[in-house]
Homo-oligomer: A and B are copies of this chain.
């Protein structure tokens, strides 16, 4: 149906297109397709019982407050709880440094809104989180992409990229989406040092950092920046840090947070006011009610156990069934791993065939801001149960073998 609005839309020249991949991925929701495409948590370990109890308590004790408008920065006790939680990881901040957003996706959008002028360059790893590209394409950003390897962004290639004058740098240091790789400490130090030398601030996106299956927790870039700047023990401010309740509690709440200076928080608040006023008061109070007694730390252990198991199964099955020439990452945490097929493969074409075989993934091309990655794919191991995981990898290996 053609309306006046369609003409109006045509006048707006935005890089915001629905992708053909997204259309294909709709098929992955058919009940008999085993999908490694999404980034969904395992729903069977959502703490529905705790939610039920929290909802009852919140509605009985503060129902009027929970259903009413709240502040744009977010529910203060929740922000205080997040500040305490951050302190555990060495991020020394108070509630004044925290703003609640509707998922980290909104933090990316608001950052775009207040910082990006059309044509501004953003320095990022390639491949990188697709949602960041979607958020910033709407502000007509350009990308300076630095390649990554098994240790994440290649810092030896960073300097020439920093010299292009990027507005900021965007990195996911832990169990990156899409590759699953983690940046080791020496690279983190070098990265923070270089960013500081060239005066380029950093967005550190850390949705998965708490989901570590093995090895030692590595200090966040924000923590290293605090140390490097001689600001030991307090937040320096050149790294804006993002994390979320989507992976450690439940994505259906749409609750995440930004760590920034109070000044930047205020600017984000002004932008959020015009964008959607605030995150759900009810969900914020319920989340605080669930988390305030220390439940989250205990729940994270449970999630880690389940996802470690699923990662192990996926790695075993890949080892068993994949033909020679296929490689994959071995993530120490998170939700994803990354598969590289022999040169010449096109995983966008392969997806069509895979869907016929009732298995799905995301073609790696989508995660590359400036093209490339045609022979790669992202696999999610958190969502499917062990049996499905095994069967799905068998189907995928078969699809690849038949198309070698």
CA distance A38 to B307 in the complex (A): 46
B238 adjacent to A253 (CB under 8 Å) = no
Cβ of A300 within 8 Å of any chain B Cβ, yes or no, is: no
A–B pairs, 18, beta carbons within 8 Å: A1-B237, A1-B261, A1-B263, A3-B201, A3-B263, A8-B201, A11-B117, A12-B114, A13-B117, A14-B114, A16-B114, A40-B68, A51-B63, A52-B60, A69-B251, A109-B275, A254-B276, A282-B283
CA distance A64 to B269 in the complex (A): 32
CA distance A114 to B271 in the complex (A): 17
Among A130-138, A182-190, A362-370, the one that faces the other chain is A130-138
Cβ of A48 within 8 Å of any chain B Cβ, yes or no, is: yes
CA distance A114 to B8 in the complex (A): 9
Complex contacts, A276 vs chain B, CB 8 Å = 101-103, 105-106, 109, 254, 276
B3 adjacent to A261 (CB under 8 Å) = yes
CA distance A9 to B260 in the complex (A): 13
Q: Interface residues, chain A, CB within 8 Å of chain B?
A: 1, 3-6, 8-9, 11-14, 16-18, 38-41, 43-44, 46, 48, 51-52, 55-56, 59-60, 63-70, 101-103, 105-106, 109, 113-117, 131, 134-135, 137-138, 167-168, 199-201, 236-238, 240, 246, 250-254, 260-264, 266-267, 269-271, 273-283
Smallest distance from the beta carbon of A12 to chain B beta carbons, Å?
6
> From A41, which residue of chain B is reached at the shortest CB distance?
B68
B64 adjacent to A44 (CB under 8 Å) = yes
Smallest distance from the beta carbon of A117 to chain B beta carbons, Å?
6
B52 adjacent to A17 (CB under 8 Å) = no
Complex contacts, A131 vs chain B, CB 8 Å = 274, 277
A69 adjacent to B12 (CB under 8 Å) = no
B8 adjacent to A168 (CB under 8 Å) = yes
- Checking B3, B52, B267, B271 against A59 with a beta-carbon cut-off of 8 angstroms, the contacting residue is B52
B282 adjacent to A252 (CB under 8 Å) = yes
Complex contacts, A237 vs chain B, CB 8 Å = 1, 3-5
- Checking B4, B39, B168 against A200 with a beta-carbon cut-off of 8 angstroms, the contacting residue is B4
A67 adjacent to B250 (CB under 8 Å) = yes
Q: What are the 3 tightest A-B residue pairs by CB atom distance, in nearest-first order?
A: A48-B63, A252-B281, A134-B274
Q: Which of A3, A44, A64, A262 has the most CB of B within 10 A?
A: A3
CA distance A264 to B1 in the complex (A): 10
B46 adjacent to A52 (CB under 8 Å) = no
- Checking B1, B14, B56, B274 against A105 with a beta-carbon cut-off of 8 angstroms, the contacting residue is B274
Smallest distance from the beta carbon of A252 to chain B beta carbons, Å?
4
Smallest distance from the beta carbon of A363 to chain B beta carbons, Å?
18
Other than A5-B240, A5-B260, A105-B276, give 5 A-B pairs with Cβ distance below 8 A.
A3-B236, A16-B270, A18-B266, A109-B276, A254-B277
